[in-house]
């Protein structure tokens, strides 16, 4: 990032590091280039800190706070939020009440988490990332420019323009240009990382 580029809190989507493996560091590094607010839970905090990544906000269970404080000594300022119990949606709700309007979530999401996030597309812009690509949670219509040979996976109820069938539930572009997706209800599409 150049010295003249200043990003204010919540100008960029917060990056919620939900589930991480050692293979995720290169892709995660790309998302950190814009200096987002980095949010995680106690387990991913330990992993991020071991990689030298500054964590801005950590969500943990009551009693875990004291264990985390020594890890954060060289990464101040950081904020720890402790709860009796919490999940991914609780983190989004908490940050949303604080003014956040968009979220990038890193880590493979369960079907249950995906379904819950679909119900929130009217409130926030939500994109999920893994080492294999990114998933978009869409309210009713989504359009973007993509390069040739981009591959998407989408549910059967989604209408599309600019794609051709590729494999079961997967579609591919045959030229650079815009693709458009639409449906009557919120939907989730996954774009695979181009090789």
Q: Rounded mean pLDDT of the chain?
A: 88
Single out the residue in 77, 109, 129 at which a domain terminates: 129
Q: Which domain holds residue 43?
A: 7-129
Whether residue 22 is found in the same domain as residue 61: yes
With respect to residue 34, please indicate whether it lies within any of the assigned structural domains: yes
CATH of the domain at 120: 3.40.50
- What is the pLDDT at residue 9? 54
Q: What is the DSSP letter of 127?
A: E
With respect to residue 2, please indicate whether it lies within any of the assigned structural domains: no
Task: Assess whether pLDDT exceeds 50 at residue 28.
Answer: yes
- pTM of this prediction? 0.88
Whether residue 141 is found in the same domain as residue 120: no
Share of the chain above pLDDT 70, in %: 94
Whether residue 37 is found in the same domain as residue 115: yes
- What is the pLDDT at residue 38? 92
- What is the pLDDT at residue 195? 65
Residues 6+ apart with CB under 8 A from 68: 42, 45, 58, 60, 80
- Under the banding of pLDDT at 50, 70 and 90, the label for residue 189 is very high
Instruction: Report how far residue 133's alpha carbon sits from residue 153's, in angstroms, rounded to the nearest whole number.
Output: 11
Task: Assess whether pLDDT exceeds 80 at residue 108.
Answer: yes
Question: Which has more confidence, 25 or 11?
Answer: 25
């Amino acid at each position: 990032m150049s010295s003249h580029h200043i990003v204010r809190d919540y100008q960029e989507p917060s990056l919620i590091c939900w589930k991480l493996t050692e293979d995720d560091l290169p892709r995660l590094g790309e998302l950190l280039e814009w200096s987002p607010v980095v949010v995680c839970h106690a387990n991913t905090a330990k992993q991020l800190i071991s990689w030298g990544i500054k964590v801005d906000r950590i969500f943990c269970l009551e009693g875990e706070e004291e264990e985390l404080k020594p890890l954060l000594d060289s990464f101040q300022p950081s904020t720890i939020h402790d709860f009796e119990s919490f999940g991914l949606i609780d983190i989004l709700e908490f940050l949303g009440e604080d003014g956040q309007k968009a979220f990038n979530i890193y880590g493979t999401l369960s079907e249950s988490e995906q379904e819950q996030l679909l119900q929130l597309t009217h409130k926030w812009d939500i994109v999920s990332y893994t080492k294999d690509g990114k998933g978009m949670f869409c309210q009713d219509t989504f359009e973007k420019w993509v390069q040739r040979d981009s591959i998407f996976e989408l549910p059967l109820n989604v209408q599309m323009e600019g794609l051709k069938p590729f494999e079961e539930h997967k579609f591919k572009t045959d030229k650079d240009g815009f693709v458009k997706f639409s449906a009557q209800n919120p939907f989730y599409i996954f774009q695979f990382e181009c090789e």
